[in-house]
Chain A
Amino acid sequence: MTDTPLPSSRTTPAVAAATPSTVRAGKRSNGSSGSSGSSGSSGSSGTGRTTGKSARARSWRDSPLRRATPWFFLAAPLALLITFTYVPVVSMIIYSFTDWDGVSPDREFTGVDNYVQIFTRPELFRVFFVSGYYLAASVLQIGVALYFATVLSFNLRFRNFFKGVLFFPYLINGVAIGFVFLYFFQDGGTLDSLLAWFGVSTEHAWLGDPTSANTSLAGVSVWRFTGLNFVLFLGAIQSVPGELYEAAQMDGAGKWQQFRHIIAPSIKPVLSLSVILAISGSLSVFEIPYIMTGGATGTSTFVIQTVKLAFQFNKTGLASAAAVVLLAIILLITWVQRRLVPDDKVDLV
């Protein structure tokens, strides 16, 4: 995982022929195709501005109107951002220390009682273990996506067809997916019929006990989300200049060596992004289990529980504490990931 990024492949003749600046530009933004041009020009924009300066422009630059202008454009976006992201975060932290029910005007300050409950009441804490199924599923998901992205980055017959088929599930409505797979796992449904074809007759109720229910649901999430990882990986692989593969082939590198030394380094940033999306995604699963089982038979996830606590049982304080815990875990993971794999693309200012 922590091998050197592009430099290992820099020894190939094709890269040596390329100018150093293009190599660097490619490395900076190899996460996505198309953005390399824009991030490259951001460096030069400053100089363009100073050379194109005229006397009239300068006088305008200093006027007070000029100073107020950006705020005309930022007023609405900032108002929305603060109202719907920052105010909720702050008030959520405040609620989490109270016993508020979300409706009544008065609320009691209860200190860390809510947090103590979350970590000590087994029925509240259990939802963390459900995330484990989805975490395992996302490992499989990333592996499968990586395999198909690699395979389909080479020329194959019906390449576009397979690309489309693999990606399409990601675009489908979650409720529809829930119903498709509810039927899939039903007694005598798709899966049972398929198994019967192969002579295996199961009397297994797939969504009937916690282990197989969670495994089945996690399988649905693999089915649904592999396409996104696949497209991200494919984009990263295709941003690698084609000459690199040709050069490697001339040097006698096999498919595996090409993967190891050209593809793997080029997708590292996207891979680390996928890992973090997978972890925070596994913690915040909601749609599929809620639609398919309603959180029954031990399939309740963190978000299902939080939604139920807040909107069914009116325990806004406790639900807020749960949400704060979830948010803290996700922020922590993001922070660790940023430390381990410094992301050189986050250069916004």
Chain B
Amino acid sequence: MTPGMTPAVTARRRLPIGTALTYLSLIAAALVVLLPLLVVFLTSLKTSDEVAKGGALSLPRDWLNFANYATAFTDGHMLAAFGNTAFILVFSVGGTVIIGSMTAYAVDRFDFRAKKPVMALFLVATLVPGVTTQVATFQVVNGFGLVDTHWAPILLYMGTDIVSVYVFLQFIRSIPHSLDEAARLDGANAFTIYRKIIFPLLKPAIATVVIIKGITTYNDFYIPFLYLHSEDLGTISTSLFRFKGPFGAHWEAISAGAILVILPTLVVFLLLQRWIYNGFAQGATK
């Protein structure tokens, strides 16, 4: 560095090579992420003949060959799978929002003697990963006679979601208590305050929870795999998993199935990008 040069100038001079390397690394990463997906997309458009003869990176002859999608959709029972997943999704996400916000409201707005122990129960539960207790949880669910019904995953998703309680708790603290007080003076009881004041004000937190919960529920494999054995109860994860059995070597059909499952996620992601990033950043650090 020559003595007369200001740091700003040297910084600008040094930039090009550094920037080029930065972009190079970004492009490399993008290729690593996109290439496997792209190849599967290409495969999904090929005929079984093309898959057998051409390499994985060859292009399909007919770009509008959606026959594999039809196969995957009908033989993979995808319509039923999307229906089952939607049913579970609506109830478990709705339940999580109500349960989480009620817990947060009770804990943040009331002083009662058992408050610390109750919070400790929720806190300790965050340390127990669901996968470890499933052997015994299965017995509990079985005891209720809920195995192989939609209610097993719904109850499990609702009951074990502590992350959402934290998201709501963080948010509810920022709602001024004076709003509660004012409503109380107008004669509102605790339930009315929760329903008419707190719940509507929680909208941003609700959006966060709906997004995180929705995506994890849509993608979950472990719980539906353990609890939903009947084929007609299959969620998209388990239906896709089963689909591979009879189509073992037919990669064009399996690829179409995989793309069918990924597509809704891609659409939701593109539409809600900003909220999704924030949601995961908020949810995971709690």
Contact = CB atoms under 8 A, between A and B. Distances in A.
Does B bind A? yes
Interface of A: 31-35, 37-39, 41-42, 45, 48-49, 52, 54, 56-57, 60, 66-67, 69-74, 76-78, 80-89, 91-92, 95, 102, 144, 147-148, 151-152, 156-158, 160-176, 179-181, 183-184, 186, 188-190, 192-194, 196-197, 223, 228, 231-232, 234-236, 249-250, 252, 254-255, 269-270, 273, 277, 280, 284, 286-287, 291, 303, 306-307, 310-311, 316, 319-320, 323, 326-327, 330-331, 334, 345-346, 348-349
A82 B276 CA distance: 30
Contact of B33 (A73, A158, A166, A183): A166
B106 A73 contact: yes
Kindly name the residue among A157, A169, A349 whose own CB sees the greatest number of chain B CB atoms within 10 A. Answer: A349
Nearest to A85: B125
Interface of B: 7-8, 11, 18, 22-23, 25-26, 29-30, 32-37, 39-40, 43, 55-57, 99-100, 102-103, 105-107, 110, 112, 115-116, 118-119, 121-123, 125, 127-129, 131-140, 155-156, 158-160, 162, 165-166, 169-171, 173-174, 176-178, 181, 184-185, 190-191, 194, 215, 218-219, 221-222, 226, 236-238, 240-241, 244, 251, 254-255, 257-259, 261-262, 265-266, 269-270, 273, 276-278, 280-282, 284-286
A11 B56 CA distance: 56
9 contacts: A45-B173, A45-B177, A91-B139, A102-B139, A183-B43, A223-B33, A311-B138, A323-B132, A349-B119
B29 to A, nearest CB: 6
B119 A310 contact: no
A108 B110 CA distance: 47
Given A49-B177, A223-B32, A330-B129, A180 B258 contact: yes
Contacts of A166: 29-30, 33
A32 B255 CA distance: 37
A33 B194 CA distance: 26
A80 B221 contact: no
A176 B36 contact: no
Given A81-B159, A86-B121, A164-B273, A151 B219 contact: no
B278 A348 contact: no
Contacts of B240: 173, 175-176, 179
B258 A176 contact: yes
A291 B221 contact: yes
A193 B55 contact: yes
Given A48-B178, A81-B159, A164-B269, 8 more contacts: A49-B181, A66-B110, A78-B118, A162-B26, A170-B280, A173-B219, A183-B251, A194-B35
A188 B135 contact: no
A181 B138 CA distance: 30
Contacts of B30: 161-162, 165-166
Contact of A70 (B106, B133, B244): B106
Contact of B178 (A52, A183, A319): A52
B78 to A, nearest CB: 12
Nearest to A35: B170
Nearest to B273: A164
Contacts of B181: 49, 52, 54, 57
A180 B36 contact: yes
B170 A184 contact: no
Nearest to B264: A173
A271 to B, nearest CB: 11
Given A165-B33, A175-B221, A286-B222, A183 B40 contact: yes
B159 A320 contact: no
A194 B32 CA distance: 12
Given A70-B106, A84-B140, A316 B123 contact: no
B129 A280 contact: yes
The 5 closest A-B pairs by CB, nearest first: A80-B159, A235-B281, A92-B136, A73-B106, A88-B136
A295 B250 CA distance: 22
